[in-house]
Structure 1
């Protein structure tokens, strides 16, 4: 078996992802294979907060599919980690036990701190910034950190993400101005709960599917590779997308068809945060929490406590 080939399975609220990495002679990890299933697991939580049997079955079936891919590579190290949807599930222990029983994979259940920290680690060495704010918008949670001199100073995990916000605030095929105003009020209230976040005037660095889609839409519209957006750029994209029905959004270049129904609350979260922080700009990156786990667990950068 090749100790330099590692598989990561990211069990998230919106999607379940497999990424296979190969370590080169310089000690850097290159992604050589990736798979994704848009499972929307957050929608399988019932009124008692339990993940339904259907949701658990979806996880197992997806992992069996991933297992076939993993077994076709010389992999000696499989790292599975779960985030908000399992963290929020009242039956999390039963779910994790069933995963082990059915697949043999033992998943790490990340705490709110770990999810925020690994997202921060995933981007900090890839950007030329000493001070900033990071945001990772998932399906059922949103992690925000504030860093200074490249060290994380504050973090918070909000119990909402693109899927849950869409379910609560923008569930119809056509978004209304009233819905956006209600969502804006909610987001401001949430951000106001963090005194360290107000008016810091640092750039915002985003990771995650919503962020990648926003960046790609901007690049397609402007025929550029620029990854920095001003507040008016984000506002313009939000206005255009929110004016379209879900079906009409399919014509937006750069927008994933699997994300077209939840993109509006995701971008609205970014825009509201930019206004609240008074950010000079928003930067998107292709890095992810998976890069953070690779760096923190398999490389020399130590994990903070």
Structure 2
């Protein structure tokens, strides 16, 4: 058993992810050595009363037990989990957490909207050399946006919508229509306008998570200059191409995961709306995640307590 290894589980609305980190001298310097991701789409197991169904709970438990086996095979000494919007908003969250504890004994916490936004910002700030910026993390059931200046978090907000539930509400179907897009754009503009600190901020937008990753990969596959940054024109061009295709036809797009081909449209539209509102010079994807921010924070607190 490796005393310097820890596994973090991110129980999200669209996917459940497991990552093993090697810790250097119990410091905030970590190395991710293994990652496993299951596109469980747990948000689709919410019933009309807002409860996660029995089927959804059983699926979650099976995935977590599989992760435990992977952890044991890799000599992990400690395993910790956190849940985001899908459990945070579930009417039966206490029942779900109790079952997880009973069947797996993995300690789990539910991140607040602030914590999810903060850990996303913290993960990004550890990886990039940028003084001022805006961060965005589009999940399946929530979207976190932050503003940082002089590398310090200034503002944050967690919206109760993400790629999966926006798709269910606005763009569900094999082919997306102009009317659906118009309604989606109007909704997102209305929502983002509730944050006055976003207006004309003129800062780069840094994205984390699967949707941002897929957008960046699609752009990289098409961009002959191999630029890591995307202008608003670049983003809108990707959006126009994907929205003109059926969900099936999107399978042929290089850089787009087949597991995201049905939910990529609302995700890109969130980024596009944000960039236009803030008059952002460019968008860039960051490989860090909420998990990285979570473990940085965990180790920092451990060191301060010792």
Distance in 2 between residues matched to 1:177 and 1:301, nearest whole Å: 52
Contact 1:86/1:92 (8 A) holds in 2: yes
Look up the match of 2:119: 118
Look up the match of 2:22: 22
Look up the match of 1:218: 219
Q: Deviations over 1:194-250 (max 9, x none)?
A: 111111111111001000000111111125553210000000000001110011001
Contact 1:227/1:285 (8 A) holds in 2: no
- TM-superposed CA distance for 1:23, in Å, is 2.4
Rate the CA distance shift 1:238–1:105 in 2: closer, same or farther, 3 A: same
Higher mean C-alpha displacement, 28-37 vs 164-173: 28-37
SS of structure 1 residue aligned to 2:73: coil
Distance in 2 between residues matched to 1:301 and 1:249, nearest whole Å: 45
Distance in 1 between residues matched to 2:90 and 2:135, nearest whole Å: 26
1:231 and 2:241 aligned: no
Look up the match of 2:203: 202
Look up the match of 1:287: 288
Look up the match of 1:86: 87
Distance in 2 between residues matched to 1:20 and 1:152, nearest whole Å: 27
- TM-superposed CA distance for 1:283, in Å, is 1.1
Q: Deviations over 1:225-278 (max 9, x none)?
A: 532100000000000011100110011001001110100110011001100111
Contact 1:295/1:301 (8 A) holds in 2: no
Q: Deviations over 1:175-209 (max 9, x none)?
A: 11111111000001000111111111111110010
What is the CA RMSD across the aligned residues, in angstroms? 1.6
Look up the match of 1:262: 263
Distance in 1 between residues matched to 2:226 and 2:235, nearest whole Å: 16
TM-score of the two chains, using structure 2 as the length reference: 0.96
- Aligned 1:243-258 pairs, distance under 5 A: 243-258=244-259
- Aligned 1:1-305 pairs, distance under 5 A: 1-24=1-24, 28-223=29-224, 225-299=226-300
Distance in 2 between residues matched to 1:137 and 1:20, nearest whole Å: 23
Distance in 2 between residues matched to 1:35 and 1:131, nearest whole Å: 32
Contact 1:296/1:302 (8 A) holds in 2: no
Rate the CA distance shift 1:225–1:233 in 2: closer, same or farther, 3 A: same
Structure 2 gap segments, 5+ residues each: none
Distance in 2 between residues matched to 1:158 and 1:287, nearest whole Å: 21
Distance in 2 between residues matched to 1:183 and 1:203, nearest whole Å: 23
SS of structure 2 residue aligned to 1:71: helix
SS of structure 1 residue aligned to 2:236: helix
Distance in 1 between residues matched to 2:150 and 2:303, nearest whole Å: 16
Distance in 1 between residues matched to 2:301 and 2:285, nearest whole Å: 25
Count of aligned pairs: 303
SS of structure 1 residue aligned to 2:56: helix
